Structure 1
Amino acid sequence: MLNNRTFLLLVALITLCAKSWSQPGQAVKVVQSSQHKKVDIFIGGCLFTSFLYPDSLEKPVLYPLNADNGTAVTRGFPLNPQPGDPTDHPHHIGLWFNYENLNDLDFWNNSYAIPQVRKHLYGWIRNTHVLKISSGKTGLLIYESSWTNEQKDIILQETTRFTFSGSVGRRIINRTTTLKAIQKAIFTDVKDGLLGLRIAHQLQMPDSTRKPVRDSIPTGNYLSSTGATGNKVWGTRASWCKVFGKMGADSVSIAIIDHPANPNYPGFWHARGYGLFAINPLGEKVFTNGKSAKNLSLNKGESVTFKYQIIINNGKQTPAAYQLNRQAAQFATKP
C-alpha cells in the first residue's frame, strides 16, 4: 500500500510529466541551401537539424540532432568531432536510412574509410533533388534519392517525407520512406539496417566504449516497450525503444517508434551500448540465431514503405513507458 505522502508525490510526478508532454508547439522554419546541398530545420528559432546531401557523403543524413536546449544528441565525429568522441564506424553519421546487403552491395558500411579498390562492393544513396519544403507549425521536407552502385546504375528510387515539430523540451521527426525497384531488388537478411543513428558520447552505456580503461562520461541506458533494458534490448522485437541518460544538468532521451504498417513489424532493435541505435525489420536471421530469416524481394516496379517516429526529450525526466505507449498508439493511426 502507498502511504499518503508517496501517493501525492506520484500524482505530482505524473502531472508534471503530462504537462511537459503537452506543451504548445513552436514554429518550424525549413531553409534550403542548394549551393551547400543542405536543408536547415529551425524550431523555436534554434537549429534543430540539417539534412545533408553533399557528394562527399555516401548517403544523405540528418546531422546533427539537437535537443530543445541546444545539446547535440548525436555524435560529432566524423563531420565535427567533439572532445572524447569515439572514432569507430565512420559511416555512423547523425540519423540515416540504408541497408547492408541490397543486391550484394553494402550500403550501410560505405564511407571515406573504404579503399578505392573495394568501392565496387558498396552502394551509394545519391540525392536527386528536394521536391518540397514548407514551414509553419510543422516543417515539411520531401526529397528523392537513387540507390546505386559505383557506376551509378539505379537499383531503387527513394522518396522520403519528413515532418518536423517541437515544443519546450521536445522535438519530433516523422519519417516515411518509399523504395521503388527500378530493377529487381533483393534485401538479403543481414544484421546492419535499416534506420540508424549514432548517439552522443554521454548517452552511451557505461563501460561500453571499447576503451581499455573505464570511461566516466557515458551515462546512458536503453528501455524498450517490452520492458527490456540495457544490452538485453539488442536483438529483441518491440514497438518502441528509447536511449536515455544525463547530458549536463538535463535528462535526455531519444525514442524511436515503429509503425504497424512496416514490413515484419515489430522490428528488431540493433541497439548497442557503444552508441549505435538502430531498428532493423529485415535482419531476422542474426537476431533469432538462425531460427528464421526475412529476405525482402521487390520485382521491377514494386515498392515498399517504412514509417518511423523519432522523439527527442530533455528536462527533469525522460518520458515514462506509459507516455511512449500512448505516443506509439497515436503514431499507429497516422496514414
Structure 2
Amino acid sequence: MRSRNKIQWGTAGVLLSFFFGMNAPLHAQKDQVKLIRKDAEKKVEVRIGEELFTAYLYPETIAKPVLYPIITSGGHEITRGFPLAPRPGERVDHPHHIGHWMNYGDVNGLDFWNNSDAIPADKKDKYGTIRHTGITALNENGNSAELEVTMDWLAPDGNVLLKEKTRFVFSAEGKKRTIDRITTLTAQSEPVSMKDNKEGVFAIRVARELEHPSNKPEIFTDANGIPTTVASLNNEGVSGKYRSSEGKEGDDVWGTRGEWVTLNGEIEKEKISVVILDHPSNPGYPTYWHARGYGLFSANPLGQKELSGGKDVLNFGLKAGESVTFRYRIMVYSGEIPGDEVLNSEAGSFGKEQ
C-alpha cells in the first residue's frame, strides 16, 4: 500500500508541478521586461510584456539622448508630447524639455541644458551637445532589464569634454514601474568646471495633466538671460501637485532640499504618482529641486547657489581624467498615491544600494 500511495502522490506532484509550471510563466510574462534594439531608428524600446514602457532615443536631430515616452501600467504617458509628438492642449515652451534627460547648464561655460533646434546657428557656439556613441550591454532578467550606453559631451568644435557611461535598469512590479539611472562622467584631456547653475540635472518634462493648475502666464529666464513665456492654458483635467520628503508642497518645493519628491495627479481617472529618489552617494546630497508647476520636474544637486539664494555654493568640477557617478531612481505608480512612509522606506532601500 505504501508503495502505491507513493506512486499516487508522485503522480499528483507531477501534475501539480505541470499545472503551476504552465501558469507561472504566464504571470511572469505579464511583468517581463524586454529590450528591443532598433538601430536603424536609433532607439531601444523597453517593453513590459507586450506594452511599451519607454524607449531610449538617440537621433542626431535632438541635442542629447532621452527616454521618451514614459508610460504607466494603465497606458497613459506621463511625459509631454512636444516637441517630438505634440498633443492638443499642451504647452509648447522650452523645446529642449524632452521626456527624461540628464545634462547641465554650465560645463566649461557651455550650456548643454538649453540646446535645441530652436537655437540660431550664429548662437550655437555657446551650447554643448551630447551624442550617443554606443550600446555596450543589453541584459534581460525576468521583471527587470539593463541597458548600458555610452555618450560624449561635445563642445561646438567637437572637443570631447566628458565621456559618459550610463546604465539604465528598468523593472516592473505589479502596477509600479521603475527606472534606475547610474551615470558616470569622466573628464577627458582638460579639467571640467560645472559652476552653480539652476539649469540641471536629472529631469522629466511631464504631461499637461500632471502640471499644477495655473491661471496666469509666467516668464522664466534661463542662465543665458533668454526669457521664455509659459502661457496660461485651460486647467480642465490638470491635477498635479508636488510633495517633498521635507513636507514641502506645490510650488514651495522649488529651491529646497529633499531625499525625494513625488508628483501626484490623475490622467483620465488613473491615479498617478511620479517619484524621483536621490541617492546618498551623489554630489550635493540631499539634492535641491528645480521643480516647476508648468511641468519641469528636476533634481539639481549642482546648482546650489542659484537654488538656495546664495546660502550654499558648490561649484563642482573634475580634474582631467577624474570621474563622478550619479545615481537616481524614477518610480511610476499607477492606481495609487503612496504616502510618506512608503516613500521614506523606498528611499531607505535605494540608499543602501551600491
Fold match (TM-score > 0.5): yes
Report 1:1-335 matches (<5 A): 26-137=31-142, 138-182=144-188, 183-207=190-214, 210=217, 211-212=231-232, 214-315=234-335, 317-335=336-354
In 1, the alpha carbon distance for the partners of 2:329 and 2:44 equals 19
CA distance in structure 2 between the aligned counterparts of 1:48 and 1:209, rounded to whole angstroms? 34
Amino acid at match of 1:247: I
Q: In the TM superposition, what whole-angstrom CA distance separates every residue of 1:194-236 from its partner, at most 9, and x where no partner exists?
A: 0011000000001167334652231110011011100110000
**CA spacing shift, 1:266–1:148, aligned 2, 3 Å:** same
| Alpha-carbon contact 1:86-1:209 (below 8 Å) kept | no
Task: Check the 8 A contact 2:44/2:57 in 1, yes or no.
Answer: yes
Q: Which residue of 2 aligns with 1:13?
A: none
Q: Is the 8 A contact 1:257 1:308 kept in 2?
A: yes
SS in 2 for 1:49: strand
Whole-angstrom distance in 1 between the partners of 2:232 and 2:164? 42
Read off the aligned partner of 2:100 and give its amino acid letter. L
Structure 2: distance between partners of 1:27 and 1:209: 44
Count of aligned pairs: 312
| 3-state SS of paired residue (2:157) | coil
Please give the secondary structure, in 1, of the residue aligned with 2:141.
Answer: coil
- Percent of counterpart pairs with the same letter? 43
Residue identity opposite 1:192 in structure 2:
E
Note the C-alpha offset of 1:145: 0.2
1:128 Cα offset (Å): 0.5
Partner of 2:227 in structure 1?
A: none
Deviation at 1:105, TM superposition (A): 0.3
Q: Confirm or deny: 8 A CA contact 2:215 2:232 kept in the other structure.
A: no
Structure 1 vs Structure 2 CA RMSD: 1.4
Q: Tell me the distance in 1 between the aligned counterparts of 2:267 and 2:97.
A: 20
Match of 1:5 in 2: none
Residues 33/139 of structure 1: CA separation in 2 closer, same or farther (3 Å cut): same
Q: CA deviation at 1:76?
A: 0.3
SS of alignment partner, residue 341 of structure 2: helix
Distance 1:90 1:76, change over 3 A: same
Unpaired runs of at least 5, structure 2: 1-26, 218-230
**In 1: Cα distance, 2:339 partner to 2:311 partner:** 33
Contact 1:209 1:273 in 2 (8 A): no
3-state SS of the aligned residue for 2:40? coil
Structure 1 residue ranges without an equivalent (≥5): 1-22
CA distance in 2, matches of 1:144, 1:212: 39
- Seen in structure 2, the aligned counterparts of structure 1 residues 57 and 209 have a Cα distance that, compared at 3 Å, is farther
Structure 2 letter corresponding to 1:249: K
